Structure 1
Amino acid sequence: MAAIPYITEISSKLIRILGCNPGPMTLQGTNTYIVGSGRKRILIDAGDADVPDYIGHLKQVLRDKQFQINDIIVTHWHHDHLGGVDDVLNAIDNKDSCRVWKYPRSDATESFSKVSTLKNGQVFDIEGAKLEVVHTPGHTTDHVIVVLREEQAVFSGDCILGEGYTVFENLDDYIKSLQVIQSFQPVVIYPGHGNIIPDPMTRISQYIHHRMEREAQIMAVFKKHPNDEFTEMDLVKRIYTDTPEQLWPAAAINVNHHLQKLATENKLVFGGNYWKLVPSSSL
């Protein structure tokens, strides 16, 4: 995994600032992106709360480049993308005029008041860039990507990562969202975590194949032991043998969503604590 610098000037219209919040789920940290070439620019994601190093690097960029953050687009509600919003606002001179944008959640109310509602297909037209917001649920119900169409570039949030695979709340929605991104035929993806993805079409195909492969592995366990019952963690221990144990709880969440999908297809049944093969599906 190549090290990500704290500040990277990717192009004349794109600066990446690392969130300085590394961890098992965030990799080297949250990637936040400043887009545009004029006086007023857009920040995509705001990192975690209470990370002075991140705010220091952001202030340094604003001071050296002499521009302001006019809008903040948050890709989804997770704390490592949303948590730093107030810290960013407190760090800029135009706090009162800077607008924070986020797609509404279908499963909860927002936890902060200074938010403007993003809409699917909404366009932000600024000097040097025209950005389109696309609702891509699956990782979370409110997840969006941001598309820079003139460069066939996608800011993927947590839908696609620079390394490894992401967690999701709804498998069907997630696969559909991957297919939506695939339909844009991006030439580059700027992920919410990890390094820039220079081969997006290959990576998206890998993501879709990986999910189908996991489903096949889950079904293989049940078919090999047609009379046995399994918890999500039982399956994780059998299937995720190359995954660090500290990531098993996250893997179990993904397995659960696979199991729910298989149950709706009448291939598995849940008995309260354990999952079991539906007898007819073993034929």
Structure 2
Amino acid sequence: MALIPPVTRLTSNIIRILGCNPSPMTLQGTNTYLLGNGKKRILIDTGDENVPQYIEHLRGVLNEEKAAIGTIILTHWHHDHVGGVKDIVGSKFAAKGEDCHVYKFKRGDENDNCPEIPTHIEVKALKDQQEFEVDGAKLRIVHTPGHTTDHVVLTTDDGTLFSGDCILGEGTAVFEDLHDYMKSLDKILKIRPGRIYPGHGNIIEQPVDMIKYYIDHRNQREQQILQFFVQRPSACFNAMDVVRVVYKDTPEKLWPAAAYNVGHHLTKLQKEGKLYVSQHNDEDRYGYQPSSAL
């Protein structure tokens, strides 16, 4: 995997600033994107909170560009995308005498708070198909739930798509709801973007192939998970039991994330009548439903 520099000018109106927060889940860190070529810019995502190196790089870019941030658009509520909001809004990155407006789609439940964003910072609600425009950049919001209920991607008229955590530059994504996630992948496939700038990892230059791979991968995983139970019809298992077999070639440090995804597959298969669920020591365990048709 090619290393991502701290700051990269991707086009005449897109600059990527790496969040400087590497981890097994964030890869080299969160990609944030500064859009536009005028004095007022749009920032997509903000990295983690309390990362001085990221703030230093962002300030350096804005000083060099002689620009300010007028709008922050958050792809979803996870800490590695919203954490930097308080550091940016509180550090006078907006133009003198103007506010920096922060936007995020609502999560669809009563708890739409992000603990990393102080309550005195107003977060305006995004709407599906809402448009934003500054000099040199025009964006359209597309609601793509699944990774999280509030997840959005952003598209441009020239075929660029900012995918947040719905599609990554390396590996596959975790999700809260598999059904919604698959529908969102289909929605992105219909957009047929020319390139994808992901929330983590390198640029995806052949996005249609990558989207199809994501869809095929999830379907293939589901078949592997179901076959695990077909081959063991007399016992019940939890998600990690499945991971140890189905994800045996995946590094163990990623098994907890894999188990999270498997859990959603198990719930889906149980709802479809292909598995049954039982309680064992206050834990859901699943078994093969022999009457199901494969």
Question: Which category of TM-score, normalised to the shorter sequence, fits these structures?
Answer: over 0.9
2:112 matched to which residue of 1?
109
> Post-superposition shift, 1:244?
1.1
> Post-superposition shift, 1:94?
2.5
> Post-superposition shift, 1:85?
0.5
Q: 1:211 aligns with which of 215, 218, 222?
A: 218
CA offsets per residue over residues 14-57 of structure 1, 9 Å max, x none?
A: 00000000000000000000011111110000000000000000
Q: 1:146 aligned to 2:154?
A: yes
Q: 1:221 aligned to 2:228?
A: yes
One-letter amino acid matched to 1:274: R
CA offsets per residue over residues 121-180 of structure 1, 9 Å max, x none?
A: 10002111110001000000000001112x101000000000000100000100110111
Q: Which has the higher helix share?
A: 1
One-letter amino acid matched to 1:21: N
**SS state at 2:273 partner:** coil
One-letter amino acid matched to 1:109: D
* Gapped regions of structure 1 (runs ≥ 5): none
**Stretch moving more, 90-99 or 129-138:** 90-99
TM-score of the superposition, structure 1-length normalised?
0.97
User: Hey, what's the Cα distance between the residues in 2 that align with 1:72 and 1:85?
Assistant: 8
Conserved? CA contact 1:55–1:91, under 8 Å:
no
2:275 matched to which residue of 1?
268
Following superposition, which runs of at least 4 residues in structure 1 exceed 6 angstroms of deviation?
none
User: Hey, what's the Cα distance between the residues in 2 that align with 1:25 and 1:67?
Assistant: 32
1:81 matched to which residue of 2?
81
Query: Kindly tell me: are residues 152 and 282 of structure 1, through their superposed partners in 2, closer, same or farther at Cα, counting changes over 3 Å?
Result: closer
Query: Kindly tell me: are residues 93 and 33 of structure 1, through their superposed partners in 2, closer, same or farther at Cα, counting changes over 3 Å?
Result: closer
**Stretch moving more, 68-77 or 111-120:** 111-120
Q: 1:35 aligned to 2:35?
A: yes
* Gapped regions of structure 2 (runs ≥ 5): none
> Post-superposition shift, 1:109?
2.2
Query: Kindly tell me: are residues 161 and 67 of structure 1, through their superposed partners in 2, closer, same or farther at Cα, counting changes over 3 Å?
Result: same
Conserved? CA contact 1:223–1:282, under 8 Å:
no
> Post-superposition shift, 1:90?
2.2
Q: 1:168 aligned to 2:172?
A: no
**Stretch moving more, 90-99 or 196-205:** 90-99
1:198 matched to which residue of 2?
205
CA offsets per residue over residues 216-256 of structure 1, 9 Å max, x none?
A: 00011111111111110000000101111111111111001
Query: Kindly tell me: are residues 266 and 93 of structure 1, through their superposed partners in 2, closer, same or farther at Cα, counting changes over 3 Å?
Result: closer
Conserved? CA contact 2:103–2:124, under 8 Å:
yes
Q: How much is the aligned-residue C-alpha RMSD, in angstroms?
A: 1.2
> Post-superposition shift, 1:93?
4.2
Alignment of 1:60-75 (within 5 A): 60-75=60-75
Residue correspondences, number: 282
**SS state at 2:220 partner:** helix
User: Hey, what's the Cα distance between the residues in 1 that align with 2:210 and 2:169?
Assistant: 9
One-letter amino acid matched to 1:102: K
User: Hey, what's the Cα distance between the residues in 2 that align with 1:92 and 1:164?
Assistant: 36
Alignment of 1:171-182 (within 5 A): 171-182=178-189
One-letter amino acid matched to 1:275: Y
Q: 1:186 aligns with which of 193, 197, 201?
A: 193
The percentage of counterpart residues that share the same residue type is 54
One-letter amino acid matched to 1:139: H
1:15 matched to which residue of 2?
15
Q: 1:126 aligned to 2:139?
A: no
TM-score of the superposition, structure 2-length normalised?
0.94
Conserved? CA contact 2:39–2:67, under 8 Å:
yes
Conserved? CA contact 1:69–1:92, under 8 Å:
no
Conserved? CA contact 2:59–2:93, under 8 Å:
no
One-letter amino acid matched to 1:263: Q
